Structure 1
Amino acid sequence: MHTIHAARTPAPSHASTTTPRRADLYAAIHKALRRAMTDTLTRLGALDTEDPADLLRTLAQAEHLLDMLRSHLQHENDFIHTAIEARRPAGARRTADDHLEHQGSIAALQAELRTLRAAEPSMRPTLALRLYRHFALFVAENLQHMHIEETANNAALWALYDDEELHALHDRLVASIPPAEMMDTLRWMGPALSPQELAALLTDMQAKAPPAAFAAVMDLLRPLLDPGRWVQLTTALGLQAGQPARAAGVRA
Structure 2
Amino acid sequence: MNIDLQELQQLAAVQPRLDLYGGIHKALRAFMADTLLALGRVDVEDAPALAAATRQVVDLMDLCVSHLRHENEFLHTAIEARAPGASSAIAHDHGDHERHTAQLRAAALALREASDALRPALCQALYRELAVFVADNLRHMHVEETAHNAVLWARYTDAELAQIHDALLATIPPAEMAVVARWMLPYLNPAERLGMLREAGSKMPQPAFHAMLEGVRPHLATKDWAQLARGLGLPPVPGLAGV
TM-score grouping bracket, smaller chain normalisation: over 0.9
Asked whether 1:32 is paired with 2:24, we answer: no
How do 1:88-237 residues align onto structure 2 when only pairs under 5 Å count?
Answer: 88-237=83-232
Deviations 1:30-89 (A, max 9, x none): 000000000000011001111111111110011011001000000000000000001111
1:74 aligns with 69
- Give the distance between the partners of 2:114 and 2:219, measured in 1 at CA: 34
* 1:3-56 residue CA offsets vs partner (Å, 9 max, x unmatched): xxxxxx9xx999922211100000000000000000000011001111111111
Greater length-normalized contact order (CA 8 Å, ≥ 6 residues apart): 1
Match of 1:21 in 2: 16
TM-score normalised over the length of structure 2 = 0.94
How many residues align? The count is 237
CA RMSD of aligned residues (A): 1.7
Q: Between the two proteins, what is the percent identity of the paired residues?
A: 46
Structure 2 residues not aligned, in runs of 5+: none
Distance across 2 between alignment mates of 1:111 and 1:207: 40
Q: Mind listing any 5+ residue stretches in structure 1 that lack a counterpart?
A: 1-8, 248-252
How far apart are the structure 1 equivalents of 2:102 and 2:178?
24
> Residue 104 of structure 1 aligns to a residue in which SS?
helix
How far, CA to CA, are the matches of 1:89 and 1:240 in structure 2? 50
User: TM-score, normalization: structure 1?
Assistant: 0.91
Give 3-state SS (helix, strand or coil) of 2:234's partner.
coil
